[in-house]
A = this chain, B = another copy of it.
Amino acid sequence: MPTLQDVAREAGVSKMTVSNVLNGHRDRVSPATIARVMEVVGRLGYVRNATARSLSARRSNLVALAFPGRDTGGIEPLMNPHDSLFLGEVEAHVTEAGLYLMAHSVNSVESTANSLRSWNVDGAIFLGTRADEVAALHRAYEAPMVFIDNHGTSPQISNVGIEDRLGGRLAGRRLVEAGHRRIGFVGPAFDEPGVVRERHAGFAQALAEAGLELRPEHVVRCNASFDAAVDAARQVLAAPQRPTAVFATADIIAAGLLKGFVRAGCPVPDQMSIIGFDDLEVARHVTPEITTLHQDIPGKARAAVEVLLAQLAQWPTVRSERRVLGVTLIERGSVGPPPAIPIN
């Protein structure tokens, strides 16, 4: 592998001149020299050594994308379409900006911070971080960081997310407008701040605005997994004065519920309406297709990288930014009017 030195020798200049040419410090080198150096670079197939650059320049051009690891979530990392799509988009934009992407699962704040430090990572994007970890991570390593979909974290911490609360509200309103009076909620726990809490809050608000109450027995807890949702469907159906419609906090849950309901002899949308969230592919795979709240995941990825790049440019002036992307209701086939004769 040729080094800077080799190029310099071959071009009859000093290392620094080659370095300047390669770094685009054109004002320090004459056009003729630039041309000569570039010719040699091309001829020798010289490639800059990123690790040496990183060491010397105190800038690594590395960006980390961190996602929940096995130890934290329990589910396989990245298995969900949201995170993987997001990762792919981030990679594209990061590469476009001439940076490199390190993929890193977060199993503990400690180990993650050490990795970032070790590689002298320039910045990081965090997916699915718990509220308490956000602050700890932000404290543990001094570099631009952008968190995704966190709610209720310090305004000094950059965040990119969506209108979760509004989404929940639109979902609730849609079901109310379809004529439903007994409406259930299916989703993971929301005792901590987060997207689920927001979606739930918006949803409950919509019901309240319509003079309806969200009864505790109509709130079914269910992780974002298809199988769990299939099971949860039974619970929904078993509730006293069972709901005629449910809002699921994720499409994968909605899809599982759909299967569960149909399997239990409760057709959708005739006997039961479902509204999902995210607008992932699964929403269109099933029949009927699921009415859901669309969120722009590629847009979120783009925004995240934009915010990160902006912070990188200003660093170390920490000007945090919070971006919130809109959501839109996508009408499909899983919402109908309540059944004429309510069951049980």
Contact = CB atoms under 8 A, between A and B. Distances in A.
Interface string A94-131: 01000011111100000000110111100000000000
Given A47-B118, A87-B78, A287-B259, A103 B105 contact: no
Contacts of A298: 76
Contact of A85 (B47, B79, B118): B79
A88 interface: yes
A245 to B, nearest CB: 20
A314 interface: no
A49 interface: yes
A102 B60 CA distance: 13
Using C-beta atoms within 8 Å of the partner chain, give the interface range for chain A.
Answer: 35 or more
B105 A95 contact: yes
Contacts of A54: 51
Given A87-B84, A255-B285, A102 B103 contact: yes
Interface string A197-231: 00000000000000000000000000000100000
A120 B49 contact: yes
A89 interface: yes
A78 B88 contact: yes
Report copies per complex.
2
A92 interface: yes
A284 interface: yes
Interface string A43-63: 000011111101100001000
Interface string A271-313: 0000000000110111100000000001000000000000000
Contacts of A81: 79, 81, 84
Given A51-B51, A101-B103, A285-B285, 5 more contacts: A47-B114, A49-B55, A87-B103, A91-B105, A95-B105
Task: Return the 10 tightest CB-CB contacts between A and B, nearest first.
Answer: A84-B84, A78-B88, A77-B88, A50-B118, A51-B54, A103-B103, A51-B51, A51-B55, A47-B117, A50-B119
Interface of A: 1, 47-52, 54-55, 60, 65, 67, 69-70, 76-79, 81, 83-85, 87-89, 91-92, 95, 100-105, 114-115, 117-120, 226, 255, 259, 262, 281-282, 284-287, 298
